[in-house]
Structure 1
Amino acid sequence: MAQISLPPSDEMFDGPSVLTLGDEWRTSTGEGVEIAIIDSGVDSSHSELQGKISKSLEAQKDGNRVSFRESDSGDSAGHGTACAGIIGKIAPDAKIISIKVLGASGLGDGHAFLAGLEYAI
């Protein structure tokens, strides 16, 4: 698995020009919206995500039962943070809920994913 990492100061990290969003996206900021990211976690200390994470949860499995606990264990693979960065650029006023169900290898359990999806809905 390859991972591309751009520093926040990179000139290509400014969002709309990289994502080529239409003009209608410039007036929709995501204010009042919460978006759940069910992934490898989100690095809430990332400078581009300050103040955007409203809740950070991590799946805890006991057999086929899954529960969630509040956690700031970060992002074990980097993918959830990358997704949060894209969401943050498209909807800068939206709040993000991180639901960590994947490990460092990018793999996880189907029960945990479904529980995360159920929590998000």
Structure 2
Amino acid sequence: MSMTIESTTLWMRACGLRDLEPGWGEVALLGGRQVALVRVSADEVYAVDHLDPHTGAPVMARGITGSRGERPTIASPLHKEVYDLATGECFTDPALSLRTYPSRIVDGAIEVAIEAEPEVAA
């Protein structure tokens, strides 16, 4: 007998776009995960893990937003590691990476794609 484990991606509503100020982050609890939502412009929002990859502290929504060229970034408020908001790549320490989540704006609301717990099918 063979078993297959399937995971499903769910788009979860986090908040209204107007609830976030450009240049700032906020935290949303989505599917049991703390996700930092960062609005960088009028219609551009990124979703990343709220846990700092270096320390494990839940602080990334309080990070410092900026850019490296055309790439929007967030710097950890603790040790100032700088991460690409789109890819999670760490510019200051290649051994670190920040988990990112797909996000979109639908009818004025921010939605984030979260993987649901895998289901085992027999």
TM-score, normalised on structure 2?
Answer: 0.23
Structure 1 or 2: larger helix share? Answer: 1
Structure 1 or 2: larger strand share? Answer: 2
